[in-house]
């Protein structure tokens, strides 16, 4: 029998998209009755867009199914993703009179706090994803009842990379871990991992997750990352790269995109983690999540400047020709460019 043709899409994603407005330079969060001036700000698509843009900037053919409003925020995000970042939006939809979700991210003390306003999209995200197209990998946000499209993608042979968000109820139901049965890799942070597994250390949480999913990865911010790959028998712990953090918004998503790209490249576990740490460390030096994600130009510049022996594997994948730089988040919508109108 002839071999199945390779899918036209490398990574398929579906999830909730936000317009992000980021303030940096805060010494402390505002208190009631006070006003705080910041030293910097930026804006851009957020939420699932963080993952999608980071993947596309690493050269992966990326398709996104998400809801967009037709308000100024939604039109701006659509244009940036489709025209600037070359992400396939054929499964996304625009909804008139629906207010796009908006997140204000306050960056201080090496981390960020968020304030979000939004309403459920007129059509569930799972309906937008539908029967997902063939892809090498799928990125999904799992919950207590992971949508059927994720299971469909898994059954079709796509590698499912899952993350999970903050539980506002703080119940951290262990039942969520049952959803990992369809996943190839799970990438929570240390707080999420420990609370869902009812453990006291990241190491204990990793051991528990390794029983449930082929690849378990736990990010620890400035403390680095731990992982186990049950498909190869590898374990690894990689330190974070020392950088001056401007804004940590979306850094976990950019890390995840780096790990997906490195996994599809076929590197050993430690090199996958180092590459993901590099993409995240380059992103936190700029505003926002999606538009702070690095491209190959930024990665090549870093590698040429540092020449770290533990990153020598980059020599195998860096483009031989100069790659154009990428665009960062503007101060406000359309600043210096009204093409999105």
**Whose CA is closest to 105, among 326, 341, 288?**
288
Q: Would you state the pLDDT for residue 341?
A: 46
Per-residue confidence of the chain (341 residues) as pLDDT tens digits?
444 556 789 999 999 999 999 888 888 888 899 988 888 888 899 999 999 999 999 999 999 999 999 999 999 999 999 999 999 999 999 999 899 999 998 888 777 788 899 999 999 888 899 889 999 999 998 877 778 899 999 999 999 999 987 787 889 998 889 989 999 999 999 999 999 999 999 999 999 999 999 999 999 988 999 999 999 999 999 999 999 888 788 889 999 999 999 999 999 999 999 999 999 999 988 887 889 999 999 999 999 999 999 999 999 888 766 566 666 666 555 544 544 44
Residue 166's domain spans which residues?
9-28+38-173+243-316
**Residue at token pair 């359309």:** 334
**Distance (Å, rounded) from C-alpha 44 to C-alpha 30?**
23
Q: Would you state the pLDDT for residue 19?
A: 94
Report residue 309: phi and psi, to 5°.
-60, -35
Q: Would you state the pLDDT for residue 2?
A: 45
Is residue 46 in some structural domain? yes
Is residue 4 in some structural domain? no
**Distance (Å, rounded) from C-alpha 187 to C-alpha 78?**
27
Is residue 60 in some structural domain? yes
Q: Would you state the pLDDT for residue 323?
A: 63
**Distance (Å, rounded) from C-alpha 329 to C-alpha 186?**
29
**Distance (Å, rounded) from C-alpha 335 to C-alpha 312?**
39
Name the domain count of the chain.
Answer: 1
Is residue 54 in some structural domain? yes
Is the Cβ–Cβ distance between 18 and 100 less than 8 Å? Answer: yes
Long-range contacts, 99-102 (Cβ 8 Å, 24+): 99/69, 99/71, 100/17, 100/18, 100/19, 100/68, 100/69, 100/71, 100/73, 100/74, 101/16, 101/17, 101/18, 101/19, 101/47, 102/18, 102/19, 102/20, 102/21, 102/73
Q: Would you state the pLDDT for residue 108?
A: 80
Q: Would you state the pLDDT for residue 145?
A: 72
Is the Cβ–Cβ distance between 76 and 291 less than 8 Å? Answer: no
Is residue 146 in some structural domain? yes
Report residue 163: phi and psi, to 5°.
-130, 180
Give the pairing type, strands 159-163 and 185-186. parallel
Token pair of 21 as six digits? 């407005």
Give the pairing type, strands 234-238 and 9-14. unpaired
**Whose CA is closest to 82, among 103, 71, 66?**
66
Q: Bridge-partner residues for 62, per DSSP?
A: 11
Q: How many CA atoms lie within 13 A of 252 on its CB side?
A: 23
Is residue 298 in some structural domain? yes
CATH number at residue 74: 3.40.1190.20
Q: Would you state the pLDDT for residue 109?
A: 77
Token pair of 121 as six digits? 């999209």
Is residue 140 in some structural domain? yes
């Amino acid at each position: 029998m002839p071999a199945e043709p390779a899918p036209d899409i490398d990574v398929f994603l579906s999830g909730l998209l936000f317009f992000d407005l980021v303030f940096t330079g805060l010494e402390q969060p505002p208190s009631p009755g006070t006003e705080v001036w910041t030293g910097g700000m930026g804006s851009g698509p957020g939420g699932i867009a963080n993952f999608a843009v980071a993947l596309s900037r690493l050269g992966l053919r990326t398709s996104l199914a998400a809801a967009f409003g037709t308000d100024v925020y939604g039109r701006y995000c659509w244009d940036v993703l489709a025209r600037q970042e070359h992400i396939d939006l054929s499964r996304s939809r625009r909804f008139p009179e629906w207010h796009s979700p908006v997140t204000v991210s306050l960056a201080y003390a090496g981390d960020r706090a968020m304030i979000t306003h939004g309403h459920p999209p007129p059509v569930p995200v799972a309906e937008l994803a539908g029967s997902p197209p063939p892809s090498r990998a799928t990125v999904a946000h799992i919950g207590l009842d992971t949508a059927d499209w994720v299971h469909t993608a898994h059954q079709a042979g796509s590698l499912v990379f899952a993350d999970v968000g903050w539980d506002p109820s703080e119940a951290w139901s262990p039942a969520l871990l049952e959803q990992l049965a369809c996943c190839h890799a799970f990438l929570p942070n240390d707080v999420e991992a420990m609370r869902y597994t009812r453990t006291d250390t990241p190491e204990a949480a990793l051991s528990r997750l390794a029983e449930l999913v082929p690849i378990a990865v736990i990010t620890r911010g400035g403390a680095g990352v731990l992982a186990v790959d049950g498909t190869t028998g590898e374990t690894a712990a990689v330190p974070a790269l020392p950088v001056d953090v401007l804004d940590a918004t979306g850094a976990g998503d950019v890390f995840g995109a780096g790990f997906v790209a490195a996994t599809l490249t076929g590197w050993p576990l430690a090199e996958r983690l180092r590459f993901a740490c590099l993409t995240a460390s380059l992103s936190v030096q700029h505003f926002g999540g999606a538009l702070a994600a690095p491209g190959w130009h930024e990665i090549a510049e870093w590698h040429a400047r540092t020449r770290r022996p533990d990153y020598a594997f980059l020599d195998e994948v860096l483009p031989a020709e100069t790659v154009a730089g990428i665009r960062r988040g503007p101060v406000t919508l359309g600043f210096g460019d009204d093409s999105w109108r």
